[in-house]
Structure 1
Amino acid sequence: MGRGREMALMSARPAALFLVVCVAARAALAIQDGLLPNGNFEQAPNKSQLNGSRVMGRYAIPHWEISGFVEYIGSGQKQGDMLLPVPEGAYAVRLGNDASIQQRLPLKRGTHYSITFCAARTCAQTEQLNITVAPESDVLPIQTVYTSSGWDCYSWAFKARHSTETFIVHNPGVEEDPACGPLIDLFAIKTLPPPQRLKDNILRNGDFEQGPYMFPNTPWGVLLPPMDEDDYSPVSPWMIMSSTKSIKYVDSAHYKVPHGAHAVELVSGLETALVQDVPTVPGRPYRLQFAAGDAGDGCAGSMAVQAYAARGSVRVPYQSRGKGGCTRGALDFTAIANQTRVAFVSMSYNMKTDGTLCGPVLDDVSLVCTRTHRARRLLL
């Protein structure tokens, strides 16, 4: 009897070892942070699969699959009198009427990821892109331009349900000119670990250090588009509440950041709110603190950030010279529910001299229960 059990255990060990090896191999195969395979479209289609700039083969662009009217655009190419720029490298792709481009991604099941990509409007007036990793899908409005170059980088986040997922970018527009549609370029991915709650801060990711991938050679930041409340945010657990406008994610390499390496710039005035829901105890006092200023990007003038929590609110004004700097804001309030929504809104509409939208920078946000802090001081 003991001999049989020993033999069974010995035969089970290779199977268990094989399973461990398979799991480790699958994890190793998951895509790494950075540019997607041919994410910058510098690997060109064969000339035999091009009709002018139109891509004719479904698999003509290496690592991508296309459908519909898709064009392969070279830097400096023209459409009539309009110059079609490319943000980085020599090539980009344009999605015409009802066109799409997709790529299969090896992922780690149950993990959250963010996709960063750049897009530019061309000849259509209300351009948008439908981004999908099933079952999650969102329409990103791109009609508002936030840079003087015409190119903006966007981010979108999702949870991997399977070890391999299909990432799809679709232009749902139908224009009289079938070639009218957005230019797209520079697709990258980043793994988003669960945001940790720091000591003495009920908020998570209050310093915005966890966020989407940022291209080192694109100095205009990354837009955080509006999202549904059940979506996963690229700056989770912060949510961007708006109908069509965005918030900008910025880094210390290209902007003046009050704290750490990243912050957000509230570039859309009253049309967009940055919110986070946090656990609170009804009847207890809390203090919300934050830094508000300017990102040193030439955004000058009168600014104001309004913070809301429970029944309280505070407005923090800031007179910007566009060269960086910040002031501290604080809001004391009493919780009225088991969950409190903290929200930030720019109360002003600001614009740089080149005509692009800008606004106050927000960073270093914290929330503490002041009763707990008073009790600690008494014990000391």
Structure 2
Amino acid sequence: MKMAVVISLLLAFCLLLGGSAFAATPLEGLLPNGNFEEKPKPTNLKKTVLKGKYSLPKWEINGFVEYISGGPQPGGMYFAVAHGVHAVRLGNDASISQTIPVKPGSLYALTFGASRTCAQDEVLRISVPPQTGDLPLQTLYSSNGGDTYAWGFRATANVAKVTFHNPGIQEDPSCGPLLDAVAIKEFFPPMPTRDNLVKNGGFETGPHLLINSSNGVLLPPRQEDLTSPLPGWIIESLKAVKFIDSKHFNVPFGLAAVELVAGRESAIAQIIRTVPNKFYNLTFTVGDAKNGCHGSMMVEAFAAKDTLKVPFKSQGKGRFKTASVKFKAISARTRLTFFSSFYHTRVDDFGSLCGPVLDQVRVLPVA
């Protein structure tokens, strides 16, 4: 009897702890039917066109939406579907959406495979009210067209309606972005530590990596730090920055880093707290991802009024080096900015943009 009481008390204690533990477990993985492999009923398809608002399982559709199988298409086109067999194509002013449970105030990143099909100026609009963003798909970062992106949002309620929309109008109504997988990841906000004033300085906290994410995940331009898919960091440039992992790339430290894939148009920044007139030491590591990116590279770093240019001769073998600069804070907030001076493509694939790797960014006060 005593044993039963003890077990009951232990179970109650575990449930109490487990409730908070489960509540603290971040959400991560594909959305329901996030890879579109759960097929619509044959009666809901006319050739490739989906018929009916709820014809695509787990999703709500509006407008001209096609259910596509990867590979050669009628008319001589070829659609790369990197994350499975099936995808959806959003025609003129068409959209797909799904409502998901979230935690108010929490930061999330959507990871999705997206590419343009037949129009040069295709745009994919992502929205989770009240936030919305337009993702230009003109630039192909990899030659196979199977780019993967991440987009961040902060939840304002218990549920969030995630919508992917093609705002464009083309002569051919079937022209539009291809979406081949959608996943989500919840983040705990990174904080400065006693050893580093930079939040997420090693880029260990980043978006979900889809299966077959061998090209990395592109972080779209103009992402503010409050909703960035790379927590703590601002993508303030005209082009994307790439989040890369140690499974598919050479990463100097830990499990992840960023690759500055579009020269001066690929910049990453963070604003840190500093004490005016105090001196600080900024250190960071640059290298190559061992992905065929070669040549004379240079990373430029800015901190307050100080600048450091770090040259790096890449032979594509995964080497790296660490650089440092001492700077004087001029205000209570100091912006750190990094970008690549030059443009690079892979030696085995001139259609794929690449660049130097940035990792292990640290700032400490000078004693």
**Alpha-carbon displacement from aligned partner over 1:317-345 (angstroms, at most 9, x marks no partner):** 00001120101111111111111000001
- C-alpha spacing 1:79/1:121, structure 2 compared with 1 (3 Å): farther
- Cα drift, residue 230 of structure 1: 6.5
Determine the C-alpha separation between the residues in 1 that align with 2:253 and 2:24. 35
Equivalence for 1:350: 344
Look at both structures and tell me which one has the larger radius of gyration over its CA atoms: 1
- Cα drift, residue 197 of structure 1: 1.7
Whether 1:227 and 2:222 are equivalent positions in the alignment is: yes
Determine the C-alpha separation between the residues in 2 that align with 1:76 and 1:240. 33
- Cα drift, residue 100 of structure 1: 0.3
Equivalence for 1:105: 100
Which residue of 262, 271, 274 corresponds with 2:256?
A: 262
Q: Secondary structure at the match of 1:151?
A: coil
Whether 1:275 and 2:254 are equivalent positions in the alignment is: no
- Cα drift, residue 360 of structure 1: 0.1
- Cα drift, residue 31 of structure 1: 8.6
CA contact (8 A) 2:240 2:262 kept: yes
**Which letter maps to 2:108?**
Y
Determine the C-alpha separation between the residues in 2 that align with 1:158 and 1:38. 21
**Which letter maps to 1:288?**
L
Q: Secondary structure at the match of 2:147?
A: strand
Equivalence for 2:4: none
CA contact (8 A) 1:30 1:107 kept: no
CA contact (8 A) 2:125 2:164 kept: yes
Equivalence for 1:71: 66
Which residue of 288, 291, 295 corresponds with 1:297?
A: 291
**Which letter maps to 1:369?**
P
**Alpha-carbon displacement from aligned partner over 1:133-166 (angstroms, at most 9, x marks no partner):** 1001111112111112211100011111111110
Determine the C-alpha separation between the residues in 2 that align with 1:251 and 1:64. 30
Whether 1:286 and 2:280 are equivalent positions in the alignment is: yes
- Cα drift, residue 227 of structure 1: 2.2
- Return 5+ residue gaps in structure 2 as ranges: 1-14
Determine the C-alpha separation between the residues in 1 that align with 2:358 and 2:225. 24
Equivalence for 1:10: none
Which residue of 112, 123, 126 corresponds with 1:128?
A: 123
- Cα drift, residue 198 of structure 1: 2.5
- Cα drift, residue 231 of structure 1: 4.8
Determine the C-alpha separation between the residues in 1 that align with 2:195 and 2:206. 21
* 1:163-178 alignment runs, 5 A limit: 163-178=158-173
Determine the C-alpha separation between the residues in 1 that align with 2:301 and 2:71. 45
- Cα drift, residue 61 of structure 1: 0.6
Determine the C-alpha separation between the residues in 1 that align with 2:160 and 2:211. 27
Equivalence for 2:364: 368
- C-alpha spacing 1:197/1:185, structure 2 compared with 1 (3 Å): same
What number of residue pairs does the alignment pair up? Answer: 348
Determine the C-alpha separation between the residues in 1 that align with 2:190 and 2:244. 18
TM-score (norm 2): 0.91
Determine the C-alpha separation between the residues in 1 that align with 2:145 and 2:296. 26
* 1:183-222 alignment runs, 5 A limit: 183-222=178-217
Determine the C-alpha separation between the residues in 2 that align with 1:336 and 1:298. 40
**Which letter maps to 1:177?**
D
CA contact (8 A) 2:65 2:94 kept: yes
Percent sequence identity is 48
CA contact (8 A) 1:247 1:268 kept: yes
- Cα drift, residue 218 of structure 1: 2.0
Whether 1:140 and 2:135 are equivalent positions in the alignment is: yes
- C-alpha spacing 1:183/1:167, structure 2 compared with 1 (3 Å): same
- Cα drift, residue 74 of structure 1: 0.9
Whether 1:247 and 2:241 are equivalent positions in the alignment is: yes
CA contact (8 A) 1:117 1:187 kept: yes
Determine the C-alpha separation between the residues in 2 that align with 1:69 and 1:150. 22
In the TM superposition, structure 1's runs of 4+ consecutive aligned residues that sit over 3 Å from their partners are 27-32, 228-231
- C-alpha spacing 1:228/1:216, structure 2 compared with 1 (3 Å): closer
Determine the C-alpha separation between the residues in 1 that align with 2:26 and 2:74. 36
